[in-house]
């Protein structure tokens, strides 16, 4: 399980920049980032090196955020690998709320995919049994988690 920081943003010019500036000023490094949006608002989802520090910085700037448990999985960088994984989840009734790939190449022949499962713990147990490699916060960010 990896802690993802999710942020509420209005679809207005400058809002993303504002949030990023708050994090930069707080000395927080963003490792992976994705944005989901509707016509009115967006959700910024990020993996950062210091999630607790990020939450504090956002909170004192009056930005609404939350920490969400997500699963980071190593998947082979070959055609059909992701498809195979997703098919497997479907067979086991593991609902994916959303996913995004981690652009930084983790090892020579693998990429990292971040999954948000309805039930994170069950999903991780299944993945682990199947032989997938689950990555920790430290493996992804290169830093120990700054738990409060």
Partner 1 sequence: MFQKEYETMPRRELRSLQLERLRWSVRNAYDNVESYRRHYDQAGFHPDQLKKLDDIRRVPFLTKEMMRENYPFGLFARPMEDVVRLHSSSGTTGNATVVGYTARDIEVFAEVVARCLAAYGGTKKDVLQVAYGYGLFTGGLGLHYGAEKLGAATIPIGGGNTDRQLMLIQDFGTTMLACTPSYALNIADHIAVKRPDFKLRDTNLRVGILGAEPWSEEMRLEIEERLGIEAYDIYGLSEVIGPGVSAECEKKSGLHIFEDHFYAEIIDPETGEVLPEGEKGEIVYTSLTKEACPVIRYRSRDISRLYHDDCVCGRTHVKMEKVSGRTDDMLIVRGVNVFPSQIESVLMEYEGTEPHYQIVLDRRGAMDDIEIQVEVTPAIFSDELKNLQGMASGLEERIKSTLGVSAEITLVEPRTIERSLGKAKRVIDRRQ
Residues that bind partner 1 (CB under 8 A): 4, 6, 8-10, 15, 36, 38, 40-41, 43, 45, 59-60, 62-66, 68, 97-98, 116
- Could you tell me the smallest distance in angstroms from the CB atom of residue 62 to partner 1? 5
41 vs 128 by CB, closer to partner 1 = 41
Q: Torsions phi, psi of 88, nearest 5? A: -60, -40
- Could you tell me the smallest distance in angstroms from the CB atom of residue 91 to partner 1? 23
Integer CA distances (angstroms), 66 to 8, 76, 117, in order: 9, 30, 16
40 vs 80 by CB, closer to partner 1 = 40
- Could you tell me the smallest distance in angstroms from the CB atom of residue 40 to partner 1? 6
98 vs 128 by CB, closer to partner 1 = 98
4 vs 71 by CB, closer to partner 1 = 4
Integer CA distances (angstroms), 111 to 78, 100, 132, in order: 9, 11, 12
- Could you tell me the smallest distance in angstroms from the CB atom of residue 136 to partner 1? 21
How crowded is residue 78: how many other Cβ atoms within 10 Å of its Cβ?
A: 11
60 vs 78 by CB, closer to partner 1 = 60
Q: Which residues contact 48 (CB under 8 A, 6 or more apart)?
A: 5, 23, 28, 29, 30, 31, 54, 141
Q: Is 85 helix (H, G, I), strand (E, B) or coil?
A: helix
- Could you tell me the smallest distance in angstroms from the CB atom of residue 25 to partner 1? 17
Closest CA to 71 of 118, 28, 122, 120: 120
């Amino acid at each position: 399980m990896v802690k993802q920081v999710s942020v509420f943003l209005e679809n207005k010019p400058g809002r993303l920049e504002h949030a990023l500036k708050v994090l930069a000023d707080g000395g927080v490094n963003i490792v992976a980032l994705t944005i989901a949006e509707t016509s009115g608002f967006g959700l910024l989802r990020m993996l950062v090196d210091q999630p607790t520090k990020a939450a504090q910085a956002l909170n004192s700037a009056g930005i609404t955020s939350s920490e969400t448990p997500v699963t980071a999985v190593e998947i082979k960088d070959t055609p059909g690998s992701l498809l195979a994984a997703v098919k497997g989840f479907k067979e086991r009734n593991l609902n994916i709320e959303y996913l995004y790939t981690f652009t930084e190449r983790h090892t020579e022949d693998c990429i990292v995919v971040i999954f948000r499962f309805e039930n994170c713990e069950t999903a991780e147990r299944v993945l682990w049994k199947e032989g997938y490699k689950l990555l920790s916060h430290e493996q992804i960010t290169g830093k120990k988690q700054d738990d409060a």
